[in-house]
Amino acid sequence: MATKSKKKKFTKLVCQECKKSVYFTKKTKAVEDKLQLSKFCKFDQKHTMHKETKK
Ligand SMILES: [Zn+2]
């Protein structure tokens, strides 16, 4: 069997309020829907929804 190169896939999550705060998280292959996490935004000084974004 050929050895597969392990690629680390990171997903970029962007704050939906200011669009400035960015989080990076590992995405498991089981997740196909867009990730949406509540993270603390240092710009808004509160927890906001951070959504997965594409390049
Ligand atoms: Zn924000």
Averaged pLDDT of the chain: 85
| Rounded distance between C-alpha atoms, residue 29 and residue 49, angstroms | 22
Across 1-55, where does the E strand assignment appear?
10-15, 22-26, 36-41, 46-52
* Contacts (Cβ under 8 Å, ≥6 apart) of 35: 11, 13, 25, 27, 51, 52
Q: Decide: pTM greater than 0.75.
A: no
pLDDT for 2-24, tens place per residue?
Answer: 776 666 778 899 999 999 999 99
Q: What is the pLDDT of residue 5?
A: 66
Which of the four pLDDT bands, split at 50, 70 and 90, describes residue 30? low
Q: Is the pLDDT of residue 45 over 80?
A: yes
Distance 29 CA to ligand 1 centre (A): 27
Distance 50 CA to ligand 1 centre (A): 8
Distance 49 CA to ligand 1 centre (A): 8
